[in-house]
Amino acid sequence: MTEPDDPRERPLDAGSSEPLHLQLRGHLRAQILNHSLPPGTSLPSEAQLQVRYGVSRSVVRQALGALTDEGLIERGRGRGSTVAPRREHHRLVHRTSGLSAQLGSTGASVGTEVLSLTVQDADASTAVLGTPQVLALERLRTADGVPIAVIHTWLPAPVFSALDAESLRDASLHAVLGEQFGVQIASGKRQIRAVPGDGDLLRLLHLEASSPVLLLEGTSFDQDGRPVEVFSTWHHPDHVVFDIDIQREPVAQVSAGSPASSAAVDTPEVVADRARRLGAELLRFADGLSTTER
């Protein structure tokens, strides 16, 4: 954090109806959550915060106390306050495995509550499933007892009409589809965006009003390429991190002698072909020398 050059640039407003200690707590909290102050960072001393924000020592102590109660900072006598390490759950969004399976593989205790399971008419968003009616499933997922995701899933109703809420409680949907119906998720399409959360969503995820959430939407296909599910999953922004593995794109094949060939990285097959052609040219050149000598 840098100290404002002008007191008017300070983020606290003495004329606001919100108490100064809540304003200071919110300002520091935002910097912690957006990683401007990453875990392990030492906060300025109480005296420095007083000067920086133009507030009393009691205001600073109230704000730091609230952040400590939230588990966002750690305070120790003689060592000041530091940003606490955070328990983040990482989701590999480029994998076909679902959130439950990925969290379980890390040792987290995963829970799933079925909020509703109903049959609905298909609409434009679920038309890809190819059935006039769909099974609409809403779930709340927790990790180590903390709500981290609200999941809405739509399935082809005729195919999965035998699916019941009890079999999905504290279970992975993909695992249930494999065990009960022989369906394996083999591929899919995914989209990620940040969106504002509505009242019900924020309540389920224990988030404050106007908090943004991370939305992952997509369609999944089975081993035969048939669409199996359409889903929307809203993730808690403080507890879930999306990981994406990246790889260098394969170099496009170009013909020998083309302008782009010198910039391309040759594959072993291309190198071998060039070696064979070079060998043939050397043989022809050697034959020519022999004829000239004769």
Ranges 29-43, 146-160, 165-179, 236-250: which has the least confidence: 236-250
Instruction: Indicate whether 86 pLDDT > 80.
Output: no
Q: How confident is the model at residue 117 (pLDDT cuts 50, 70, 90)?
A: very high
pLDDT tens readout for residues 158-172: 899 999 999 999 888
If one compares 273 and 208, the residue with the highest pLDDT of the two is 208
Question: What are the chain's domains?
Answer: 7-83 (1.10.10.10), 89-243 (3.40.1410.10), 252-277 (no CATH)
Mean pLDDT of 213-218: 90
Instruction: Indicate whether 264 pLDDT > 90.
Output: no
DSSP 265: P
Rounded distance between C-alpha atoms, residue 106 and residue 102, angstroms: 7
Instruction: Indicate whether 285 pLDDT > 80.
Output: no
What does the pLDDT read at residue 114? 95
Q: How confident is the model at residue 80 (pLDDT cuts 50, 70, 90)?
A: confident
Ranges 71-80, 226-235, 269-278: which has the least confidence: 269-278
If one compares 177 and 268, the residue with the highest pLDDT of the two is 177
Can you spell out the DSSP letters for 156-214?
A: ETTTTTT--HHHHTTS-HHHHHHHHH---EEEEEEEEEEEE--HHHHHHHT--TT-EEE
Q: How many CB atoms within 10 Å of residue 54?
A: 14
Contact, 169 vs 110, CB < 8 A? no
Both tokens of residue 7? 């007191």
Q: What is the 3-state secondary structure (H, E, C) of 113-131?
A: EEEEEEEEECCCCCHHHCC
If one compares 12 and 227, the residue with the highest pLDDT of the two is 227
Q: How confident is the model at residue 237 (pLDDT cuts 50, 70, 90)?
A: confident
Mean pLDDT of 243-256: 65
What does the pLDDT read at residue 110? 84
Q: How many CB atoms within 10 Å of residue 181?
A: 15
